[in-house]
Chain A
Amino acid sequence: DTGVSQDPRHKITKRGQNVTFRCDPISEHNRLYWYRQTLGQGPEFLTYFQNEAQLEKSRLLSDRFSAERPKGSFSTLEIQRTEQGDSAMYLCASSLDGTGTYEQYFGPGTRLTVT
């Protein structure tokens, strides 16, 4: 039973560049979440999908951010024209909603540094 995986684990980019992160959830999970965590803070919700439908987006998700989950499997999070304030750990989680405990399982995260 593989857990949630994220790629890359670390990304260093220059301000103004575009970056894309990938998340592979636990295979049978129908919900996928993205969170952002800055140093010394708890994670903050960005967006989530139920299957391929994006059901909620936080106000933190500016127009420079876009997320997709084609075919309801893996998800990508793209940040366009990166800014230094985008430097953070980006966490992905998945859950099986509709049955069970709705427990969210997290991946190892992608640490983004914008120089």
Chain B
Amino acid sequence: KQEVTQIPAALSVPEGENLVLNCSFTDSAIYNLQWFRQDPGKGLTSLLLIQSSQREQTSGRLNASLDKSSGRSTLYIAASQPGDSATYLCAVRNQGGKLIFGQGTELSVKP
């Protein structure tokens, strides 16, 4: 059974810092991995998707990496801003199609 874990559960950093969020999964037989952002009481916004054959994806200040063999992914956020404050979720997609989510990392960027 696939399990996804995100560490840390919460993170508080001063504005301008670079930071890394971690995601690990137990079964390497994944189709892809998505990183999402969720603001309080809102739906999920897709940030990056990495196919199982890829090693990383970049979008603006965000970079996500994937090491399928070790069951790990990281989301790197450069030059953090207060507007980045949100909960970040990673999810792996199995061959069937459903996403299995971690519990999220709640990020607070202080001005």
Bound pair: A and B? yes
Point out residues on A near B: beta carbons under 8 Å.
4, 6, 31, 33, 35, 40-45, 48, 55-56, 91, 93, 95, 97, 101-109, 111
Chain B hits for A91, CB < 8 A: 43-44
Q: A45 to B44, Cβ gap below 8 A? A: no
CB-CB under 8 A for A101 and B103, given A43-B44, A109-B42, A109-B43:
no
Asked whether B89 is an interface residue with its Cβ less than 8 Å from the other chain, the reply is yes
Since A56-B97, A104-B93 are in contact, a sample of 12 more A-B pairs with Cβ atoms closer than 8 Å, ordered by chain A residue number, is A41-B103, A43-B101, A44-B101, A45-B99, A93-B44, A101-B49, A102-B97, A103-B32, A103-B34, A106-B36, A108-B42, A111-B41
Q: B34 to A42, Cβ gap below 8 A? A: no
| In the bound complex, CA of A59 to CA of B46 (Å) | 26
| Secondary structure dominating the interface of B | strand
- Cβ < 8 Å to A, chain B residues 3-49: 4, 31-32, 34, 36, 41-46, 49
Q: A104 to B103, Cβ gap below 8 A? A: no
Interface size on B, residues (CB 8 A): 25
Question: Pick the contact of A42 from B42, B45, B101 — CB < 8 Å?
Answer: B101
Q: B51 to A105, Cβ gap below 8 A? A: no
Tell me, rounded to whole Å, the shortest Cβ–Cβ distance linking B94 to chain A. Answer: 10
What are 19 A-B pairs with beta-carbon distances under 8 A? A33-B98, A40-B103, A42-B89, A43-B91, A43-B99, A43-B101, A44-B101, A56-B97, A56-B98, A91-B44, A93-B44, A93-B99, A97-B97, A101-B49, A101-B51, A103-B32, A103-B46, A108-B42, A108-B43
Point out residues on B near A: beta carbons under 8 Å.
4, 31-32, 34, 36, 41-46, 49, 51, 89, 91, 93, 96-104
Q: A102 to B43, Cβ gap below 8 A? A: no
| In the bound complex, CA of A95 to CA of B93 (Å) | 12
Chain A hits for B91, CB < 8 A: 42-43
Chain A hits for B43, CB < 8 A: 4, 6, 91, 106-109
Q: A31 to B44, Cβ gap below 8 A? A: no
